[in-house]
A and B are shown apart, each in its own frame.
Chain A
Amino acid sequence: MELEKFELGATPLKDSAIKEGKVLTVAKKPNLKYAWDNGPAIGRYLAELKEGRIIARKCNKCRRIMIPPRMFCELCWRPTDEWVYVEDTGTVNTFSICYVNWDASRIKKGEKPHLPAVIEIDGASPGMGILHVLGEVEPEKIKIGMKVRAVWKKPEEREGSITDILYFKPVRG
C-alpha cells in the first residue's frame, strides 16, 4: 500500500474526521513572521551569489577557508581575516534520494525524487561544503566523491539567495 503521507508512530486522528466535524475542534492559523538580519558574513555571501560567485572567509590561524562565510572562527575564537572567492565546482561529500517532499507528502508518480547533497566546494578547506541539490543526473548514477558544478539562474532572475544556484550537476569527462 502506498502511503499518502509519511507518518511514523501510531494512527492519529484522520484529517477527514476533523474536516467532517466528527470531532470537536478549534482552528486558528498562526501569523508568525520573521525578517532575520544576516550580518556582514551571510549578507556578503548572498550578495555575491546574486553576482554568480561564491565567497568564503579565511582564518589566518587555522588556515581554514570557510563557507558559508563567518566573521569569527568558532574553533580558534578570533575574527576571521579575509574574503576569498572559491570555485562553483566541488565534490559530493554525501547525498540522499528523497521520495517525500519537504512537508513529508509523497512525491507524485512519475516525479523525480529530490536529491539533496553536501558539496565540498573547490577552493574551500576540506570538509567545508554547502547543502544543495543535484540535478541533470539519474539517482542511481550519483556517487560520493563525484565532481559537480553549479548551474546558476540567469543573472536577471537571481535575487541574492541560495536558490540563485538551481542545482549542481555532474562534471562530465
Chain B
Amino acid sequence: MGENIKINIQHLTRVEGHGNIVVDLKDGAIIKCNLEIVEAPRFFEGMLRGRSIFEAQHLTSRICGICACGHTLASIQAAEDALGLTPSDQTIKLRKLLLHMELLDSHILHIYLLALPDLLGVRSFMPLIATHNDVVRRALRLKKACNDVCNILVGRHVHPIRATIGGFTKLPSENDLDTMLNNLSNLHEDLDETVELISKLQFPQFQRDSQYVALVSDDGEYPLLSGDVGSTRGVRINKSEYKKITNEYMVPHSSAKFTNLNGEPYAVGALARLNMNCRKLHSKAVEAAKKLNLSNGGNNPFLNTAAQTVECVHCLNDAIGILEALKTSGIDYKEEILVGANETSAIAVKAGRGVGAVEVPRGVLFHAYEIDEEGRILNADIIVPTSQNIANIEGDMRAIIPGIKHKSEEEITLALEMLVRAYDPCISCSAHFLDVRFVD
C-alpha cells in the first residue's frame, strides 16, 4: 500500500472475545496503531465486593470458559493466602495436574483451531475437515481427552466443580487414576504428530527484543503454580508485590488496562515462559523445543504457537508423572472437604489480604483479594495475561509495519491478524471490567 495506510479490522475473528485492530499511517508516519478491546463489560471485581470469599472461585471461574481452571486456581491461591491456609502436598499435586490439563487443552485449541488455518492459508478449520480430516480429528481427539480427564478430576473443565478453597470436594478413586492415566498415555502419538506438523510450517520471520515476564523459582521445576515473578531484564519480585510488575495504566482507545515494567511493555505466555525457564522443561519437551528451534526460547512473537506446542509435550509428560506418583502413594480421602459457603466453619476465617499468581495458558494471571474478619470480600483485583500483552502487541505492530507497508491491504491485514492471534489473546478475560468506546 505504501506510505498511507488505513486498516480497520472490526471484530477480529478466531480470538476469544471481541477486539479491533486499527492502523493509520500517514506519509510513512504511524498516527495510530491500536489493538482495541471492545468486549462488553462484565465487572467481575465490582461484583465480588460483599460476597463471601468462598464464592470467589465459583464466580471468577466465569470470567473465561477457556481458562476457567486457571482463574479457579489463582482465585483459590489468593483466598488461601488471605486466610493463611497452606494446601497439602496431595492437593498441590492434583492442582498441578489440573493446570497441566488446562494448558494442554487451551494450547491445542489455539494451535489447531485458531492459528493453524492462517498457516495453511484457509479461513477457518471448516475447510480443513475436507482437506485435512486426520488433522482435524486429531485436534478434536486431543481436546476431548483433556476434557475427559477434567471431568474425572473436577467434574467438568468449563467451571470446575470439585476444586475449592482447602482442596477438593471429592477426590479421584483408584479407578479414576487409572482411567486418567490411560487417557493421557494414549496421547503421546498425537502430540508427536503435532510437533511434526508444527515443525514443517513456515512462520513469518520477525524479531523484536521484547521484555518477557513469567514465574521463576530456584528449584528444578518448570514453575506454573508457584514462584516469584521475573523478567528477562533481570527483575525478580515476590508475587505479593505484583503491582510493581504490572503498573497498570489506562489509554483512551481501549477498555483493557495496559501494563509496563520499568517503563517498557512486556510479554507473557508460552514464549515468555520458555525464555525464562526452558532448561527446566521435561526432557521430552526439550527434544520438541530442539525440533522447533526453540531450545533457548526466542523473540519472534509468531513462534508463540510453537512454544505452546513445546509446553503441550511438557504438560502431558509431567501430568503422567504426577498421576503415577499419586498411584504409588495412594489418595488420602480424609482430605475431602465440604465447603459450600463455609457454613460448617470447616475453615477458620480471618481478615487479610492475599495474592494468587498462576501461569495460565496465555501467561501469568494475578488475583488479589482483601477480606474482612467474616470472610467478606472488601476489594478484588484481577490482572489477566492479555491485558499485560496488549502494549507489547502494539509495540510489535509498530515494529512490523515498516517492513510490510509496501504489501497489499489484504496481506498487511493478514499479517497483523496473525500477529495478534499468535499471542492467543483472550479478550473475554481482559474485558472483565471495562468497556471501550468505538473509535471511528
> Do A and B form a real pair?
no
Binding site for B on A (CB under 8 A): none
Question: B residues within 8 Å of A by Cβ?
Answer: none
